[in-house]
Amino acid sequence: MINFTMRINALIPGYARQIVVTATPAITFQALTAEIDQWWTTNCNVITQVGDRVTFRFDSTYWVMEVVRLSENRLIELLCIEAHHLHEGLPASIEKEWEGTKLKWALKAVDGATQVDFIHEGLVSELDCYEICEQGWNFYFASSLKEYLETGRGSPYQSAET
């Protein structure tokens, strides 16, 4: 995992992480698209085709992503086209930091499992939101998604707002 992260960060600036899950690429692709609400946030749209605009909400924070690439069972790429990121204790400058960044998941079958390489291109350590976003991805991608794929139960964000 460290080698992947170091190698990718040398080529593409951003957050990078790799997991291996005991699920097929088809099941993993489904979890990353149509079932994203089962492991990231319950308040979102699903990903169905290139050109879709998908909103991911965390209470008053939200990001609008455009689906720019979908290769069934292999690749998902989203471009952040609108950001409204608010987090108590962090500077207001974080609000738009995700705009123009890309989320990329690449899937590869490996020994009866699936290797998932994730890159949040543009989420670099110089951003004011980096630490909180890194913690978020470490939890939602590396823990919640993995748990969802291996046990059927993820830990998506559930809104505290009524």
Q: How do residues 131-141 score in pLDDT, each as one tens digit?
A: 999 999 999 99
Which CATH number is 76's domain given? Answer: 3.30.530.20
Is 160 a member of any domain? no
- Secondary structure (3-state) at 132: helix
CA distance 120 to 94: 16
Alpha carbon distance 143, 150 (integer Å): 10
Q: Helix (H) and strand (E) counts for the chain?
A: 4, 6
Per the structure, how many domains does the chain have?
1
Q: Is residue 128 part of a domain?
A: yes
pTM of the model: 0.91
Q: Residue 124 is part of which domain span?
A: 2-151
Task: Provide the pLDDT confidence category of residue 162 given band limits of 50, 70 and 90.
Answer: very low
Bridge pairing between strands 113-121 and 14-21: antiparallel
Is residue 56 within 8 Å of 44, Cβ to Cβ? yes
Lowest mean pLDDT among 5-14, 22-31, 140-149: 5-14
CA dist., res. 63 & res. 113, Å (int): 31
pLDDT grade for 29, boundaries at 50, 70 and 90 = very high
Enclosing H/E stretch for 56: strand 53-58
Name the pairing type of β-strands 113-121 and 75-84: unpaired
DSSP state of 152: S
Across the chain, what does the average pLDDT equal? 93
Give the whole-angstrom CA distance, residue 105 versus residue 75.
6
Listed residue (56, 88, 63) closest to 159, CA to CA: 56
Q: What is the pLDDT of residues 38-82, one digit of tens each?
A: 999 999 999 999 999 999 999 999 999 999 999 999 999 999 999
